Amino acid sequence: MITAPRIETVYPNEARDALAKIARFFLFLSLAMATVVPHSFQAVEAATFFLTMLICIVLIRRDAWLDQVMLTFFLGAAVTALYIWVGYTNGAPRSASNQTLFVYIIAPLLWIVMSTALFQFVGLVRVTTWLVWMTWAAVASVAAFFYLYLTFGKGAVVFLTADANVNVQGGFAAATMLVYGSMIFLAGAIFAQPLIIKGKVARIVLPGLMFIAALTSGRSALILAIPIGFLTGFVLRSRMRDTELTENTRSALLPMFLLGLGSLLMLVVIDILFDSVDLLLIVTRFWDELTSGGGSERTEQASALWEGFLDSYGLGVGHGVGVPYIRNMLFPWRYEVMPLATLLRVGLFGFIAYASTFLLYGQRFLGRWSARDLRAEDIYMIGGLVPALLATATNPYIESFVFQWMYFLPVMALAVKPVVPEAEG
């Protein structure tokens, strides 16, 4: 009697299965640190990320999408190596070269490897569930920060950020919290695909709390992430798979309508309970900053960077080399207007090389879009990625080893295939 050949399981032995469980724990811990307490414990975060990456390198499997993304990574790494040398010849300090090596080569590789492991051994559905949990934690951390600072003073929250401050004077509300950077992605993602949230009540409450946190953050990029995410989801939901289309298009409108009513109610409550907060002033200041291109400082910075780019004939001046306009006295080669800063450093062709990862992602995403093959999780991820990318016009989040998850997690989420049954989701 002829029997079918026995198919080997994914894990050849118990040791590999145990390693996968350890990897899941450290992946959750790393993602939680990066989203909820970014840069608050830099040494611990860096050590945790590196340990997680080492475990994941041993564990991850060969993947066609990973191979393609790695080609763009090596292209960017080659550009980085070249322009570190160009910058050195143009007088860039050694510290700038070391930072560039870490931020542009080591950190992206770290997040590519960890993201691959997440989608191979945890799964896209569970990862988005984790991110929703972390969104609750991020919102709670904002509320706790305001309460502790206003009640007990700076000393109660200085462990989260050395420059802790809360400003609720003159009708304005703002705080120096690094979690606002993560919330740009989380807010855009939630408003793009609210049905990722389990529970009808939670679908109203969590986006509503996110809306209030954004409005009182003093961060234009975070406030802007909400309409960008909403519009992204509104446009893309009609291109979902047939198995998901009816449920998502029919049931997404009611939560968003109720969310609008709930947000208005919360605004009225805030206006009544907190006399020092003037919501009209907050909206006015946000609009002024938006129409001025991020404020006068960023406008002047952009002008100086563009002139420097033109003076280099579009070839770039190298990493670690700045322009006469100095924004950061400690690191004078750093700027917030990242697109123009990148053009200054590595020129037009280097800029395209760095963008190749996202161009590859865009090509693959458009293929899914044209085939009506988008998953709810795909819309969630791009809903967070788009405002995070746009935020680079005024904030250097992509140059932070902690915040780079916002850029590489969606890219790998699009097409990395799971290798264990529980990750298929």
Q: What is the pLDDT of residue 25?
A: 96
Mean pLDDT for each consecutive 10-residue tract of the chain (425 residues)?
44 73 95 92 92 94 96 97 95 91 96 96 96 95 82 71 58 67 95 89 87 82 90 89 57 55 56 50 53 65 92 94 78 89 96 97 96 94 96 91 96 93 66
Tokens 């802007």: give the residue.
224
Burial of 110 (0-12, 13-18, 19+ CB in 10 A): buried
Query: For the chain, which residues make up each domain, given as ranges?
Result: 14-423
Which of 201, 56, 214, 192 is closest to 122 using CA atoms?
A: 56
**Alpha carbon 120 to chain centroid, angstroms:** 20
Quote the tokens at residue 212: 């209030």
pTM above 0.75, yes or no: yes
70 near 173, Cβ under 8 Å? no
H/E element, 287: helix 279-291
Which of 54, 14, 10 is closest to 30 using CA atoms?
A: 54
